[in-house]
Chains A and B, each alone.
Chain A
Amino acid sequence: MSETPDETATAGAAAEAGAAPTIGTAPASGAAATTPAPMKIDAKLGLDVFKLDKEPHIVIDHEICRTVCAKKVCLTVCPADLYELDDSGDVIVNWEGCLECGTCLICCEPQALSWKYPRGEYGVQYRTS
């Protein structure tokens, strides 16, 4: 009988494939002699606590993105890099890793976003910021 009482999870989307075909041994953490490569944004988000609601708190009106938006700034302004294009070229947001800064809401000129704070008990919970 396996019950998993704590079902909430930390967010973190799949890591993308790298570019150069190399096989190497990663340096043991902390002991790198040269400047280490920057941490992937997913790894940074993996350090945060996210309590996931079932419903997204950001909903995109795709019709507006498709028809009115010339410059898709959401793809570049988000400090968590959560916006991307799906296979059909629509803008999607991986709201699970949202830092709740509101930058996308403020920067999206055509106002395609319905953006609320997550309900109480959900969303990011900072411990040391």
Chain B
Amino acid sequence: MRIVVCVKTNYDLQMVRVKGREPVLEALPYKVGDLEKNALEAALQLREGGLECTIVALTVAEANAKVKETMKEALALAADEAVVVNDPALAATDQAALAAAIAKAIEHTGGADLVLFGEGSTDNYSGLVGSRVAELLGLPQIGYARSIAVADGAVTVERSMDDMIETLQAPLPAAVTVVSEINEPRVATLMNIMKAGKKPLTELSLADLGLDAGAAAPQKAVLSNLAEEQDRKHIIIEGDAATAAAGLVDALVKEGVLGR
């Protein structure tokens, strides 16, 4: 059985520094997306639970040395092999084009019995890619997975809903998107990192998949994604607790927030 885990190689968002109102992206480190780590761990646990399977980590990204380095992390964490769809045209793309490339890449590299995604990516978190890929491949899809079991050609998934836990079953092949409660991902051990360097990593261009650069062209453009600018009043109230509390009440009354 073949499990494909779709991994977005993210900027390490915690390392982003904001200068002016723009993030400084220069020299920023990458990492495997958080929920994708959960998806990799879920695949590993299926195998440890006795499921015979090959785990493939798949990413689609612009050409970049850091992407390949980051995929070694996925190899060290769980995967047996990695596939990188690496094409400069992917530097600016959107979820629709990305999903098309992922679907093609899965077909191209031996198909999948189970495709795992994070529910959303660490940076954009649009939560679109999993569903789009499932649609393109004609697979049943189950979202918000908090547990996954595979038996008798079917996958059984507990879904974490706001006010209930739903249990669903789908025949394989299927697509599943996971949430963080599904497991606690392990950190890569030194031995596994050393082994990861020797595991196969296949690089494909869009042309290899029979797609032209136009296929990566976004159908929508992001014009701005800044947080709303707010004017602060810059009122500082100092003093010991009693004085400060009184000062705060006065200020809030004056602002019309309290009393009247």
B120 nearest CB across to chain A (Å): 7
Which residues on the A side are within 8 Å of B15 (C-beta)?
49, 125, 127
> A1 touches which one: B144, B234, B237, B244 (CB < 8 A)?
B144
Q: B interface, how many residues as a size bin?
A: 20 to 34
Chain A residue nearest in CB terms to B248: A23
Which residues on the A side are within 8 Å of B109 (C-beta)?
none
* Interface residue A20 (Cβ < 8 Å from any Cβ of B): yes
* Interface residue A34 (Cβ < 8 Å from any Cβ of B): no
A6 to B35, CA, bound (A): 9
* Interface residue B180 (Cβ < 8 Å from any Cβ of A): yes
A49 to B34, CA, bound (A): 17
Chain B 27-62 near chain A by CB (<8 Å), digits 1 or 0: 000000111000000000000000000000000000
* Interface residue B213 (Cβ < 8 Å from any Cβ of A): no
Q: A6-B14, A17-B244 are in contact. Are A23 and B187 (CB under 8 A)?
A: no
Chain B residue nearest in CB terms to A128: B17
> B240 touches which one: A21, A23, A119, A125 (CB < 8 A)?
A21
Chain A 33-67 near chain B by CB (<8 Å), digits 1 or 0: 00000000000000001010000000000000000
Q: A interface, how many residues as a size bin?
A: 20 to 34
A28 to B125, CA, bound (A): 34
Which residues on the B side are within 8 Å of A19 (C-beta)?
238-240
**Interchain CB contact under 8 A, A18 and B238:** yes
Chain B residue nearest in CB terms to A24: B236
- Chain B, 154-212, CB within 8 A of any chain A CB: 160-162, 179-180, 187
* Interface residue A5 (Cβ < 8 Å from any Cβ of B): yes
**Interchain CB contact under 8 A, A25 and B235:** yes
Q: A51-B14, A120-B187, A121-B187 are in contact. Are A3 and B240 (CB under 8 A)?
A: no
**Interchain CB contact under 8 A, A3 and B35:** yes
* Interface residue B119 (Cβ < 8 Å from any Cβ of A): yes
A3, A20, A25, A26: residue with the most chain B Cβ atoms closer than 10 Å: A3
> B14 touches which one: A17, A21, A26, A49 (CB < 8 A)?
A49
10 contacts between A and B (CB under 8 A): A1-B144, A1-B179, A5-B118, A17-B241, A19-B240, A21-B243, A23-B238, A25-B235, A125-B15, A127-B15
